[in-house]
Amino acid sequence: MKTLDYIPQTKIQRAGKLLKIGAQVGKNYAKYVGNRIILSEDDARNKLNSANATNIYDGLSELKGSALKMAQMMSLDDGLLPKEFVEKFSLAQFSVPPLSGPLARKVFRKNMGRNPEEVFSSFERESSYAASIGQVHLAEIDGNKVAVKIQYPGVAQSIISDLKLVKPIALRMLKLKNDEVEEYFEEVQQKLLEETNYELEKENLEEARDLSSVLPNIVIPKIYDSYSGKSVLTMEWMEGLHLSEFSKQQVSLEERNLIAQSLWDFYLFHIHNYKKVHADPHPGNFKVNPQNELVVLDFGCMKDIPQDFYNSFFKLADLKNVHDDCVFEEVLKELDIITENDNAKAIETIKSTFKKMLCIINKPFQYEKFDFSDPAYYQELLILGNELKNDETLKSLNGKRGSKHFVYVNRTLIGLLGLMNSLNAGDILVDNYMTYSKK
């Protein structure tokens, strides 16, 4: 894999790179028009999607930061993008072109005051993993393997300007108005800024490690505090396969179920007991170690769930409330999905849509055990996503819909269901997390 000796950091440099990406996409559309003459519509469209996905991903990989992070976030939802984009953007989870050894060394020295070779017993110049915000190098401290996470230069400073550049494009693509998405963009911006704060991530990790100590089969690395800084985070090295790699292995159903149950319990335990959630549920943030334990990594994106939002959100997990028309409407108002400006027709449209959606999404919560290997359930989710995306009646509804807290809570739920699907797990005890809950 190629390495990068330079990352565009100024607003002008990054805007120029985005313009180049846009120009290449324009060329791809011109080729698409020609291909439609000699190819079927599906084949021509697939070639267009593949070319655009490659060009956009390659360009964003050179920018790093929030632009690449947004691509990673979108790859979690199979119904949001064509499969060519999902496959390409999913590489942003832990396999992007890394910084070159000399540039990574320079970033480390700037943050820690010394070269890595002066700090560690040994330090691998080439990274082991590279993602959207930083990359990981293998090192040793007194014979112990450690993971040294180094943040890309200029990432934190570019987040606000990047989002300002991306925002108009997103508005045009989604056919939304600025005042309808402003609150959501502010939520995303705040979380992205938090992800660049490695001191905050250190606190999050240590807290999660403490709170998760009662959960069996969960491993969270310990931090080496004196070897960490604002843009460098050093922790235990965790052996094992990333979840996407593990899911492709020929392992027994018992082993798969153990990992899937551990993952499910980890999320529900933290959500229901502490109103906190690891809001970056992609395969690159989890490993399965040789002892078949689930290793949880990267606590940069943690979401605190306000009590009032939690109460209303989880009322909708109980389908009795969904089917009680009065209760259902009231909860949708509490969550700002129905607003005071909606007329009777709009309210009925919203209620009908969300009732259908919740009856599918909430299926696992209606059973003592749920079979996450059942392809029919995920097919229902995919069909639902496509229907919602193409529903013209929904598109005609004006105004902001839903609390800003939906952005990361929904993202987490979709990501978790996707991970459970990838593990092809059998019967999972839905309320098993309660076994470990505080009394």
| C-alpha span between 401 and 332 (Å, rounded) | 10
CB-based contact 246:263 (threshold 8 Å) = no
| C-alpha span between 240 and 292 (Å, rounded) | 9
Three-state secondary-structure class, residue 132: coil
Residues 6+ apart with CB under 8 A from 213: none
Cβ burial, residue 380 (10 Å; 0-12/13-18/19+): middle
Percent of the chain with pLDDT over 70: 89
| C-alpha span between 378 and 9 (Å, rounded) | 40
Q: Give the residue-averaged pLDDT of 90-105.
A: 74
Percent of the chain with pLDDT over 90: 48
Q: What is the pTM of this model?
A: 0.84
**Closest by Cα among 298, 282, 209 to 247:** 282
The pLDDT score that the predictor gives to residue 392 is 73
Q: Is the pLDDT of residue 92 over 90?
A: no
CB-based contact 22:52 (threshold 8 Å) = no
Q: CA angle at residue 86 from 131 to 88, to 5 degrees?
A: 55
| C-alpha span between 45 and 25 (Å, rounded) | 13
For CA atoms 276, 280, 282, 286, the dihedral sign is: negative
What DSSP designation does 30 have?
H
Question: Is residue 390 very low, low, confident or very high in pLDDT (cuts 50, 70, 90)?
Answer: confident
Q: Is the pLDDT of residue 148 over 70?
A: yes
Q: Is the pLDDT of residue 75 over 70?
A: no
Q: Which of 10-14, 220-224, 292-296, 434-438 has the lowest mean pLDDT?
A: 10-14
| C-alpha span between 119 and 221 (Å, rounded) | 20
CB-based contact 438:273 (threshold 8 Å) = yes
Q: The tokens 């950091």 sit on which residue?
A: 9
Q: Give the residue-averaged pLDDT of 269-280.
A: 95
CA 349, distance to chain mean position in Å, is 30
Helix, strand, coil % over all residues of the chain, rounded to 5: 60, 10, 30
The pLDDT score that the predictor gives to residue 169 is 63
